[in-house]
Structure 1
Amino acid sequence: MKQPYYQLDFAAQLCKFVIKINDIKIMSLNVDGQTSTDIPINSAIFASGKQKVEVIGHPLDGTKKIHPEAYIRYKVVEQDVGSGDFIFITAFEKHQTPPVQEVQPVIGHVSMFEAEVPYVLGNWNSLQQLDKLKTDITPVLKNTYNKIIQKAKGGDYKPLIAAIKTVETRNAKTMYLGEKDLEARLKSILDDIVNGF
């Protein structure tokens, strides 16, 4: 069975960059120099279809203007991991932010690519932008987090593990992991917590 695995191959220079896939922030880093790497992005792909990639470069921490030599360059690469190996399928178009202009506050670029994945994460179509909600959810979120934290401080990790399991179950689906792999990941996280990490 084909298991498409999408990675973002990117490089950035002299900016504090943010990478978003489908409006979900997957990475942010202040780069006073240059960096390049590949990062997996399946965790932000909730179903087959068009996917949005957005990169934004802000001024470096401690500065007010974007560096004149700042840039972000990226492309999406698709591989198949169904056999246990990474088999190259395709590389989508390469993109780069335009050259910095004198009065430009940030740099950025938005593109789309077509992904085909054998899963659908159920909540994708029901998500709402928080700034469009009519009620403030901050108190509810803080209360929920505080309950989880207080129980964990008292040695009861069940609510924390339940919350982590929700995220790890989604991650397991997008990374094609089996139930044993999911349980091993959860056990490793719980062991780290119990050991003070």
Structure 2
Amino acid sequence: MRWVAETATWYAVLLLAWLAMLSSRAAEELVAGAVCALPTAVVAVAARRAIRRAWRPRPAWATWPLLLVPAVPADTARLLGRVLPGLLRTRAVGGRTRGAAGGRTRGTAGRNRSAGRTRGTATPPGEPAARRDLRRAWGTIVLSATPGSVVLRWPADGPAVLHVLGSGRPSPERTVTR
């Protein structure tokens, strides 16, 4: 009977995800979501059983998406602070990029200026394998959802390697990796 509850949970999550992405609530869209969520939920349960892992998240991990609320605007401001000056200095003229004074320029990409840096972030030692794998999967989604960072790799036995735009608060990677 556990598989029924697990399938129902996956069905609800998948249907809610579908509904969250709809721009309008047409009947056809609701039916399509309801029809597609069931076989997808069955496959999700079968896949989890095939890998023989029971992911047991910590309840605090459900709050990780809340970290995105302040992080996305802050990272967007950092990104615009780096990109806008270069865009304002250049303009396209006849298919060529010219500086504001009219002289040729290579644009912001040709300046060889570092747009960010790579950083390794340690993860907690001694976690059970299933929990560690879930932390890596869920953490990769959360950390890569902001414009200021992307997870380059996160090996099972090592630290998360991130490319970050800049430093500053908020810093979701500190919460996700501890």
TM-score calculated relative to the size of structure 1: 0.24
Larger radius of gyration: 2
Please, what TM-score do these two structures have when normalized by structure 2? 0.26
Task: Give the number of the structure whose residues are more often strand, by fraction.
Answer: 1
- Structure with the bigger RCO (C-alpha within 8 Å, sep 6+) is 2
| Structure having the larger proportion of residues in helix | 2
